[in-house]
Amino acid sequence: MLTRRVVGLLLFAIIAVPTFAPAAAATEWDDDNWLWNIIGPERLALGDEFGCHGYEGVDIHDEPWAISGCRDYLTAFTNASRWGQNPLSFGVPAGEMDSTTADHLHSSGFRIVGDLLESTPSQLHKIDRTTSLEKGQAEMSALEDAAQDELVSIYWVARWHDVKIREDKSAISLLESQDVWFTTWGEWYMHERASHRIGGSYLDNQTIAVGLPEDELWRVPGSVLIEWEIEPETITMLGEVEHELSADEQHLHAGYRFVENGLIATLSPGDYISFSAADHAPAFTFTPMTTFNGLHHSVVIVGHHVTNLHEWSSDFYDSPLRFTWLIERPAALVMDWRLPVIAVAVLIATPVTIKFLVKRDQRISEDVGSIDSDTD
C-alpha cells in the first residue's frame, strides 16, 4: 500500500507541476534596442516623433514615477524629434485625469496628452482620437469629411497581447491620396504655437520685417499668411525661409510660397522676411496658420503602447504618413528560481516511476503465471 501511495504521489507531481508552477514574474524592465538601432534613427530622420506611454502594466495614476522614468528611458537612446531632444507627448489612460498626475506630467516636460481623456488639464494640451487604423475599424467618413484645419489623430497598435493587428489598407490609401499635412502631435502643437509668435516690426519708414523668436521647447517653424493690397517693391529673406515651397509639399519645412495678393511664409526661429517700398512701409495683414503650407487639414498616426518599434512600424517603411510613437518600456520576464528545481525533480522522477511500474507489471505477470501453474 505504501508503495502505491509513493507512485501515486510521483505521478501526481508529474502532472500537477506544469499546471501549478508559478509563472515567470515581471519584476525588471527590458529595452527596445530598435530605438537606437536602425529603425529609430530612420524614423527620426523622416520626421516622426517619439513620445511616452509609461511602463508596461504600470498605471501612472498609481505610480507617477513611470512618467519621468519613461522620459529618461527614451532620451537615453534617442531624441524625441528632429525639432527637439525632450519628449512632449504622453499617452494617458482613458477617462478623467487627476490634478496630481497632470502636475507630474507637466513638471516632467510633457505638454500634450491623449487620446481618450474626458476633460483637459489646464496646463496640458489634449488631443482626441479620431478613429483607428485597425483593419475593419477605421471610420472612413471621419477621414473623408475632416474639417478645414482639423487635426485627424488616428490610433494604431501592432499587437494586442498575443494577437497581431492588421492595418486598414483602404484607409491608408485614402489618407495618402489627400491634400493634407502629414505631421505628429508635437510638431503640430509647436507649429501652431510658433505661428502665433510670428511678429512684424518697422525697421524704418520704408521697411517692415517679420520674424520668429526662439522657443525654449522645440525649434519648430511657424507659418503665417502675409497679404497686401499693393505688392512691395523689395522682398528680402534670410535663413531657411529662402527655400521655395511647392503647393503639394506635405511635410513641414521652412520656406515660402506666393499666393494671390500675398505669400505663405513658414519661418524657423531666427528667420526673417523684410518688405520695402520706395516712399513708405507697405501695409500688410498677418494671419497665423494652423495647417502648414495652406493644406486642408493635418493627419497624424499615433502608435500606442510601443514596446517593439520594428513591429509597430514595419508596415509603413515606404509611406508618406508620419507617426507619433508613444514608447512604453517593456517588462522583462524574470525566471522564477523554483522552475529549474521543479524541472530537475520531474526529470528524475519520471524515469524512476516508469521503471518501477514496468517492474511491478513484470512481477504481477509472474505471480499470475505461478497461480495458473498451481491450479493446473
Give tens-digit pLDDT for 350-375: 665 566 556 666 666 665 555 555 55
Across the range 176-205, mean pLDDT stands at 95
Range in 65-69, 199-203, 349-353 with the lowest mean pLDDT: 349-353
The confidence score (pLDDT) of residue 192 equals 98
Question: For residue 207, is pLDDT > 80?
Answer: yes
The confidence score (pLDDT) of residue 190 equals 98
Question: For residue 222, is pLDDT > 50?
Answer: yes
Q: Report which secondary-structure segment, H or E, holds 341.
A: helix 338-375
**Cα–Cα distance measured from residue 300 to residue 323, given in angstroms and rounded to the nearest whole number:** 6
Tell which phi-psi region holds residue 262, choosing left (phi > 0), alpha (psi between -120 and 50) or beta.
left
Question: For residue 160, is pLDDT > 90?
Answer: no
| Between 60 and 120, the higher pLDDT residue | 60
Residue 265 pLDDT class (50, 70, 90 cuts): very high
Cβ atoms 84, 110 nearer than 8 A: no
The mean pLDDT value of the chain amounts to 87
